[in-house]
Amino acid sequence: MSDFALVTGANSGLGAATAEALACKGIHVLLACRRGEDSTATANALANPRISAVPFDCDLGDLKKVRAFVDKLEKKMGANAQVSILVNNAGMNGTGVKPWKTPENVGFLTQTNFLGPFVLTRLMMSKNMLRGGENGTSKARVVNVSSVTHRTHGNIRDVQAFFNPTREGHYPNTKLANALFTLALNEKFGNSVTAVSADPGGAMTGIWRRYGPLARFAISLIFAPADDAATSVVHAAVADMSSAPKYAYVARGAFAWKLLCGEEPSANVPRWRRLTATGIAVFVDWPIRWISGKMLCSHATLVPPTPQARDLDLANAVWDEAERRAGL
């Protein structure tokens, strides 16, 4: 066996659920976690013969560690082994981020959610470890886990806004950066890679662990369990994307409704409307799916991301700045 899917942040929440779902589809999955021992523990817990651990650290919060991870992975896998599906899942929200900036003066949230996965993907590509294979397509698949919150970003005029550190970071901007990465990757490397963004909707996972008990209780009532929310990530990883646009973005249920994913140019959509539509989707998606026994709000499909996520000039500018900051 030499053809794998690699899932980052696989010890928890959506990452673990995605890994399990891919393995159930017959795909051999490698778990990559911030602490290598977590990969092993999770592989043991999931107990699926198609799931294996990467036994060393995949910490995206530090560029040196990302480089070290790719070097070790290359040595461990050997020349013929390949990753044909990379799921850039690992991420965090802004609450209580410490330290809040990297030595390169990049906001830590941006480093973890965007710059780390950007460098991981680019290095794996440059070492020819990311190649199409047995897992469905002739091209490698890169899934960038974005979020509905990318629709709530402010009007970004300066690309530095994605990178410059602020104490809490700006989660929606990092998730917009994920969607822009998808667009630029398809534009620049579309002959060898298919990139797809995935919007899991609201998921009750470890990402809320720093919230207070009341907030967590409320979230547990309206957000889907991880194995359900991982559906759009799995769809992004394995569905046929041959006719997908370069900004390919998969959402599901209420998060794919026209109210939220209309085609209007951003100038015509006031931010309050985007926030309201997001709020409605957040509140109704899982309850409708749950009450209807998954008859409703279950379909994962391609939808347009926010107009700024379809802006190729912005995608290229973020790409160039990411390269500059990472010294690629």
Q: Which residues bind ligand NAP (CB under 6 A)?
A: 9, 11-15, 33-34, 58-61, 89-92, 112, 145, 147, 200, 202-203, 205-207, 223
Q: How far is the CB of 240 from ligand NAP (least distance, A)?
A: 23
Residue 175 tokens, joined? 């998730």
Q: How far is the CB of 271 from ligand NAP (least distance, A)?
A: 19
CA distance 162 to 153: 11
CA distance 308 to 215: 30
Q: How far is the CB of 267 from ligand NAP (least distance, A)?
A: 26
Nearer to ligand NAP, 59 or 133 (CB): 59
Nearer to ligand NAP, 16 or 239 (CB): 16
Nearer to ligand NAP, 62 or 132 (CB): 62
Q: How far is the CB of 110 from ligand NAP (least distance, A)?
A: 11
Write down the H helix ranges in 48-132: 63-77, 108-110, 116-126
CA dist 285 to 26, 32, 195, 200, Å?
Answer: 29, 30, 26, 11
Nearer to ligand NAP, 132 or 152 (CB): 152
CA dist 34 to 7, 89, 134, 255, 309, Å?
Answer: 11, 12, 27, 29, 28
- Relative to beta strand 51-53, strand 29-32 is parallel
Q: How far is the CB of 11 from ligand NAP (least distance, A)?
A: 5
Nearer to ligand NAP, 133 or 182 (CB): 182
> How many beta carbons lie within 10 A of that of residue 113, not counting itself?
30
CA distance 19 to 41: 14
CA distance 176 to 250: 14
For residue 91, what is the DSSP state?
-
Q: How far is the CB of 35 from ligand NAP (least distance, A)?
A: 6
Nearer to ligand NAP, 34 or 50 (CB): 34
For residues 11 and 20, the answer to whether their CB atoms sit within 8 Å is: no
Nearer to ligand NAP, 106 or 133 (CB): 106
Q: How far is the CB of 310 from ligand NAP (least distance, A)?
A: 19
